[in-house]
Amino acid sequence: MIMIMMVLALLVLLPCGVQAFREINSSTDPLIGTHAVFEPYAAGYVGYYGDPANPSAERLNEGAPYSPDTPRIFFSAPLQQTCPGMVGPGRNGDYYCYSREYGYCDRRSGLCVCNQGYTGLDCTACLPGYFKQGGLCSAKKSCPNDCSRGGECDYATGVCSCNPTRRGADGSQRFCAFDEKCVSCTSSVCLRCVEGFSVDPTTQTCVSCARYDPRCLSCDSSRCLTCADLQLNSVRRSGARRIDQPLPDDERVREFSQTFVYGSQDPRVFDEAESFTIVPASYTLSPLNESSFACTQGGNGDAGWSCSAYSESHRVCGHRGVFSFVSPLYAIDEAAGDITITVQRSGGGLGRATLLYDLEHVTTTAGDVSPSMFYTSSQKLEFAPGVVTLTFKLQIHDDHVLESNKTLRLHLREPFEPSDLFGVAPATLGNQRRTLVTILDDDAFRPVANLSRVVSSETTLMLGGAAGDQLNFQIQSVLGNGVPVSWNSDLDVFRLVARPQRSGDYSMSVKINSYALSASPFIVTVLPAQLNPARSVLSGSGLLVGRVAGQAVNVVLVTRDLYANRIYVGGVADLKLQASRSSSTVPTVVTAQIVDNADGTYKFTYTPRVVGSYSVAVMWKGAYLHNSPYTITVVPSTPVGSTSSAQGPGIIAAQTNVQTTFEVTTRDSSGNAVPTGGVAAALSVALEHPEKGNVSGNPCTDLLNGHYTCTYTPHFVGGTRLHVALSQQAILGSPFLVDVTAGPALGSRCVASGDALVSAVAGQRTNFTISIYDAFGNAKDNAGSENISVTFTGPGVLSSAVNAAVGVTYIGGGTFVVAYTLSLKGTYKIGVTVDGVAVVSSPFTMYTYPALASSTTTSLDLLSPTLPKSQIDPPVVFIAGSPIVARLTTRDVLGNVLETGGNRFQLGDAVRAFLDVPIADEKNGSYLVTLRPTRSVLFPFTPKLMVPGGLNGSYFAASDVPYQPPHSLDGVFDPRKRSCKAQKYEHWSGGVSDIGSNGSKLLVCSRYGGTSFSHKTTTLRVFPNVATAVTSFVSPNGAGVVATGAGLGPQIYTKQNYTYHVTVRDAFGNVRDSGGDLLVVRVHGPDSSAGNITDLTNGDYIVTYRAMLPGAYEIETRVAEPERGLTGYYYVDSRSVQRNLPSAVRTVDAVIDFDWSKNVSMRGYPRVVWRGFLHPLFTEEYTLWVKIQSDVGSAADVYIDGQTVIDGLNAGATSGHVVLVSGRLHAITVEYRSASLQHDPGYLSLFWQSVRQTAQLIPTQALISDASEILPRTQLAAVN
């Protein structure tokens, strides 16, 4: 035999392990010079991800024609990438982006390379420094001073076009020269001024609205239009403007409960803002400042009020008032008899207002103070229109008892609803709605002392006295207070005994007959007696309630004797102060340090550190001093960072881009929890990443109970230090080590990579990877739960979705592998989304090349002479000496026409003798065969395709070719033995063929120097892969099984059982010898039915079927895909069927169980159709039903084997009955509508139940997503 061979140099596609572009110098490729369009790059001018050292878009792909590592990767194929807005080719064969002026198209990468001054994906935008003129980018000409923000620059001329209010070459001169505050004008009139000013029509200047009222915000030339609380409008936010009028005195002295700095963003800044309004026209007391009064009660000793004028700045802006006491503290002596209290209201006294006040006893009693004076019992305060202050009195009662100061509180109640209704809001209470009144005790100590030491002296009367004379004695203290005197006498000597109760120096005068004795008066010193516990006096902060934990407090002891005489000497021993906490089961005792002042006073100092109630006992020799023990309370001190703590999951772990929360509990320096808020602004939260920098947390929220909720949002993955500080002092445990992991994935950050995004081979499984990243670009190593959607559209300009048998597998490390198989060659768009968001550069443009030539699909077409077109046309006749021209079209196993030539064919000797010219390779997958038979002979025309490593003489499925005269000629087809065939391949190749139960034979063909070949055989045990319809086939006889009946036709009889065999193989042609695959057989014709399948457990299956009616039939055989679930088609339009629109999304759903109020990822589709197969366990009648939100318009249909089981769309049904066969795959379709058009997103679930099947949601293992058809279909005829 003579071999007719055409040699074709093929380029092997080697995978490139690169993940980015880099710039190269084309001079490194010695074979090809630099393309004219792309200039070589300077060595080292390279950019990296995150550090774009090269700001230009110019770059080359790995594998480009000038790449030094994998050169000329696309040598044998034209460049296929399409750039945005691509046009061309031009005269020189180049492609451009929109036009040559914008930029060039690099068809290797699909990127536009922009010209100078242009930028953007399609080069239609202008770089900074350029402007668009006539659609093109031109260099800008600078205008003077950039037009001073007073106009627009004409970059073509460099001339400013001024705004209506500006003039000058640079727009810096104001056109409105009337006033600097005029912002809109004509050449002669000022039209508008800045806020707070209006135009004076006589002078054309801007006049302040404060002429009407200091609180007027906007006005015109005749009146104020709107009012505002100017101090809490902008002044506290950013300060007053230079042009603003100064605030009036009553605003400057205004007090607020909160202190904030300028620029504060705290919302409480404006909590005390007052709502000013224009005084209504019906109000008769305007202007307000001319009718403001201050009234006082009790001036005449009765309940009457006396009023006088009061200075106010309010004129036309006011409100009913915010009420408060003029002072938060009052103090009055106990002996004063009464105290004067003043209540004021802001707003200028607009309208009438009434409110009550209450008296709360703190340490006072009803015997100390009355809530009113004796002349009234009313606690109601009635503010008449214009009245801004009311002053009243409370009666104080003096009990003449020595005691400590006492306190009481006064409270204002909410004002009553106003009685004069003229459209002004009711009055309110201000923050100073309470005041504390202290009554000062002014009683003196009582003289109750006894003599501690008696100085006895005998006084002998001077000589000269006579018996019977009257003697007068007078004892008088130096201080002027008399004391009782008792005396007795005997006949000779007079003795006097005096018992004064006050210590001190006394003068004793002795007179006889009105004559003083010699040396009279006598000075007598009375000393205090010993310390008396009941009479000694204790005072100081250590005996009062409300002590602050951690702060030292003092108690002063003033020693006195039984008669309250002050002791001025020290030295008293056995003194003790002990504070015992009474509100805890754990004993807490604080002992004071005692300092003897050596003057009869003693200072006790102690520091309570634990919050609670204490009993303070001061003792001397076991006896309690002065009303001891005292009950005090200790409250927390100011919170500090060193003792405050944080708790919650946020101090342990967090996720990026997810707001993380923890709680801070504030404590004082003694560790007491502080139950009040107020320090949220002092809390700071910051994240410190050791490599990527710091991230500030959010402001903490004050829970007003000493606890604060703090949040932060991490940006970087890894061990991160969480710094929490209070007043710049770290809290307990700070910094915390937080394990930050990647948060939710963001599709626009995720990256898809791999050669499968660029090209593929039809019918071959290929894959690419998707690397998952979060919103901040962190690699998401904890991925795996993301919803990966991959859609294919094409080929070419077709926009319909293509079933590419996509399989997505998570392999760990934040990486998904996407595998797919395309059957048709051409250009496709690959859309890749992660959780509904497109990944970087999606959609991708890729090209699918045809596979190797296949003898089963390669066709032979007769060109000359022409074949008959109808039955009445004469048959084709081949005349000796006349040429016979046929075209051989090479196709791959899937029917794609090959795009290149180079295949070789072998013809038999008989045919070769009639070969007119050599077989012509058209370089597009087609070959012209020209025969010129010269004699009348019957010869077989059987061209054989030489397949590398496969068939040596594979016959094409050619039609019968008659040949005449004098005889007709038929094509003869014989299978040949498989063997290796020499080809110019630079690699090893192998194939596996099944040889029975003893294993498989591996045939390896290698090439040594292109001349010698050897066959190496070894025995391996290779298990089949998953079943695939591409390599499976049907036949009258299965492997090793004898079939009965002509099951594959072409003619059968009705009402008889027929069988045929199905041999199931994997993608490599191995028989699935263990069985267990699921098949679907449908017999289409006048009597459509399903075939019964028997598994022989050796890879063969017997299919039994019966035709009941005569006619033409077609047998469809399918093999189930391994993926479980139903294939869902999601449509954006409920009328997609009528409009023949493709689905927007195609995905495999494990079960039909959806609640779109919870699952938002697939919510936006009004029509969803699920298709697949149902695999029941039992043969019996089943009940199917759907759980659906039918009350809002949702409905669903369920079809089994093309028959309606549940008609929800037309009849509103939600259940139905159907007979299912065990082990048989029943085609199922579920159509659901109104998934998102109603307000409630809706829900859908599919259930089943039978006698032996318990009621349940149809599980995943009972659902088959798809089944691939074994081609070709068998066509036959049934006769009676």
Is the pLDDT confidence value at 423 over 80? no
Is the pLDDT confidence value at 182 over 60? yes
The pLDDT-based confidence of 725 (bands split at 50, 70, 90) is very high
Nearest to 964 by CA among 885, 1057, 865: 865
The superfamily in CATH containing domain 747-849 is Immunoglobulins (2.60.40.10)
Q: State the Cα–Cα distance between residues 1203 and 13, nearest whole angstrom.
A: 49
Average pLDDT over residues 1222-1250: 82
Q: What are 28's two structure tokens?
A: 């490194």
> pLDDT tens digits for 750-761?
999 999 999 999
Query: What pLDDT is stored for residue 1070 in this prediction?
Result: 75
Average pLDDT over residues 530-546: 87
Query: What pLDDT is stored for residue 490 in this prediction?
Result: 52
The class that CATH gives domain 1022-1120 is mainly beta
**How many residues are recorded in the chain?**
1280
Average pLDDT over residues 284-297: 87
> Is the pLDDT higher at 630 or at 13?
630
The pLDDT-based confidence of 1138 (bands split at 50, 70, 90) is low
Angle among Cα 1229, 1230, 1231 to the nearest 5 degrees reads 115
Out of 391-400, 661-670, 863-872, 1219-1228, which region has the weakest mean confidence (pLDDT)?
Answer: 863-872
Considering Cα of 854, then 855, then 861, then 865, what sign does the dihedral take?
Answer: positive
Q: What are 804's two structure tokens?
A: 């590419």
Give whole-number Cα distances, 1231 to 109, 537, 733, 803, in Å: 42, 94, 58, 19
Give whole-number Cα distances, 186 to 10, 148, 175, 191, 935, in Å: 80, 20, 8, 7, 107
The class that CATH gives domain 277-440 is mainly beta
> pLDDT tens digits for 90-100?
878 888 998 88
Query: What pLDDT is stored for residue 1239 in this prediction?
Result: 55
Average pLDDT over residues 1122-1127: 92
The pLDDT-based confidence of 1165 (bands split at 50, 70, 90) is confident
The CA radius of gyration of the chain, in Å to the nearest whole number, is 54
Q: State the Cα–Cα distance between residues 502 and 566, nearest whole angstrom.
A: 9
Nearest to 204 by CA among 224, 223, 225, 181: 181
The class that CATH gives domain 537-635 is mainly beta
Query: What pLDDT is stored for residue 264 in this prediction?
Result: 63
Query: What pLDDT is stored for residue 371 in this prediction?
Result: 93
> Is the pLDDT higher at 837 or at 529?
837
- Give the CB-side neighbour count of residue 495, counting CA atoms within 13 A: 7
Domain 1126-1264 has CATH 3.30.2020.30: no
Contact 341, 435 (CB under 8 A): yes
Contact 898, 892 (CB under 8 A): yes
In this structure, CATH architecture of domain 471-526: Sandwich (2.60)
Strands 99-106 and 96-97: antiparallel
The superfamily in CATH containing domain 851-983 is Immunoglobulins (2.60.40.10)
Average pLDDT over residues 1248-1259: 95
Contact 923, 903 (CB under 8 A): no
Per the rule left: phi > 0, alpha: psi between -120 and 50, beta: everything else, 1075 is left
Give whole-number Cα distances, 678 to 639, 663, 726, 988, in Å: 10, 15, 12, 79
The pLDDT-based confidence of 1112 (bands split at 50, 70, 90) is very high
Nearest to 560 by CA among 508, 613, 600, 516: 600
Q: State the Cα–Cα distance between residues 1047 and 460, nearest whole angstrom.
A: 165
Q: List the domain boundaries for the chain.
A: 141-175, 177-270, 277-440, 471-526, 537-635, 640-701+720-737, 747-849, 851-983, 1022-1120, 1126-1264
> Is the pLDDT higher at 1062 or at 1156?
1062
Q: State the Cα–Cα distance between residues 273 and 93, nearest whole angstrom.
A: 73
Give whole-number Cα distances, 451 to 35, 125, 477, 486, in Å: 126, 109, 14, 15
The pLDDT-based confidence of 439 (bands split at 50, 70, 90) is very high
> pLDDT tens digits for 103-124?
989 888 888 999 999 999 889 9
Average pLDDT over residues 1050-1069: 85
Residue 1040's Cα: distance from chain center in Å?
A: 63
Strand partners, 297: 305
The listed range with the strongest mean pLDDT (96-100, 483-487, 708-712, 1032-1036) is 708-712
Percent of the chain predicted with pLDDT > 70: 77
Query: By CB neighbour count within 10 A (0-12 exposed, 13-18 middle, 19+ buried), where does 802 fall?
Result: buried
Give whole-number Cα distances, 207 to 186, 192, 212, 224, in Å: 18, 11, 11, 12
Query: What pLDDT is stored for residue 872 in this prediction?
Result: 79
The pLDDT-based confidence of 990 (bands split at 50, 70, 90) is very low
Q: What is the 3-state secondary structure (H, E, C) of 65-118?
A: CCCCCCCCCCCCCCCCCCCCCEECCCCCCCCEECEEEEEEEECCCCEEEECCCE
What's 1137's DSSP letter? Answer: H
Query: What pLDDT is stored for residue 1029 in this prediction?
Result: 85
Query: What pLDDT is stored for residue 444 in this prediction?
Result: 61
1018 contact partners, CB below 8 Å, separation of at least 6: 1002
> pLDDT tens digits for 40-84?
333 333 444 444 444 444 444 444 444 444 444 444 445 578 898
Do 851-983 and 471-526 have the same topology in CATH? yes
- The Cβ of residue 2 has, within 10 Å, a number of other Cβ atoms equal to 9
> pLDDT tens digits for 568-603?
888 888 899 999 888 667 778 888 899 999 888 999
Q: State the Cα–Cα distance between residues 818 and 829, nearest whole angstrom.
A: 15
Is the pLDDT confidence value at 24 over 70? no
Averaged confidence pLDDT in the chain: 78
The pLDDT-based confidence of 167 (bands split at 50, 70, 90) is confident
What's 1045's DSSP letter? Answer: S
Is the pLDDT confidence value at 1182 over 60? yes
Q: State the Cα–Cα distance between residues 655 and 743, nearest whole angstrom.
A: 5
Is the pLDDT confidence value at 431 over 60? yes
> Is the pLDDT higher at 444 or at 470?
444
Is the pLDDT confidence value at 1149 over 60? yes
Query: What pLDDT is stored for residue 353 in this prediction?
Result: 92
Is the pLDDT confidence value at 738 over 50? yes
> pLDDT tens digits for 926-946?
888 888 776 655 656 666 666
The pLDDT-based confidence of 472 (bands split at 50, 70, 90) is low
The listed range with the strongest mean pLDDT (222-236, 331-345, 1235-1249) is 331-345
> Is the pLDDT higher at 868 or at 475?
868
Average pLDDT over residues 343-369: 92
Query: What pLDDT is stored for residue 980 in this prediction?
Result: 33
